[in-house]
Amino acid sequence: MPGTWFLLPDFTFTTEGPLSLGMVIPYWSNPTTVLASLGSGTASGIELPPQTTIVEPNHAHSRSESQSNSLGAWLKFEGLASGSTSNHYSKNNQVKYSETDHEIRSFRDPLTPETVTAIANIHAVRAHINSGMFGKRPFYIVSGLRIATSSFTVTKERSSNLTFESEGSGPPLPVEVGGKVGHDGRKTVTDSYNTAPGIVFAYRLLVGKESVIGDEGSL
């Protein structure tokens, strides 16, 4: 999925930290495990395309996720008693990121097949490729960084609601007896904090398979 991004596990990564353009990682979901950092160490001889930077102002994001389940039952025994019961459970998770400008750093040009082959031949990368049980493993190259130029507010809200109701009645003779009971419980938890300025908001990856490379990502 070209042009899409991965959110970081938390907003504590800075531009001076380990997450940088040209970093090679074994798993798309874990940017903290590094196979190689292009331009340094054993990968110092691999030439990368020039970097480019653009600024996208006024980024604000909100996500919500909800789930609802209901269950009901009705019973009747001829000449004896009848009853019904029902319950409903719902939950909602929401996260909001307040407005800030995003500085996007990326490679100006695509990586050439020769560059990808050189990356695949780095000892640690080659060992990862060959470690697959059912074939070759892919590797991932950090090709883009979204950097929040100023502090922004992260707000997370989790809420749940449980409703229970039960009703029943006894036999009609000589006296009909019935009853009803219900319960309605609600819970909401809200956490909020401000990030430091200049943190990495999201990253984009190129996925490499030997000498084949393409875009892959999700936000």
Output the pLDDT for position 192.
93
pLDDT at residue 132, rounded to an integer: 82
Please tell me the total count of domains within the chain: 1
pLDDT the model gives residue 25: 92
CB 41 within 8 A of CB 34: no
Can you give the pLDDT at residue 40? Answer: 65
In a domain, 1, yes or no: no
Q: What are phi and psi of 63, to 5 degrees?
A: -135, 145
Q: Range of 127's domain?
A: 6-216
Residues linked to residue 73 through DSSP beta bridges, in sequence order: 85
Asked whether residue 39 is domain-assigned, the answer is yes
pLDDT of residue 160: 85
Spans of the chain below 70 pLDDT:
1-3, 39-43, 72-83, 166-184, 210-219
* pLDDT value of position 211: 47
Among candidate residues 35, 38, 15, 17, the one with its CA nearest the CA of residue 25: 35
The pTM of this model reads: 0.73
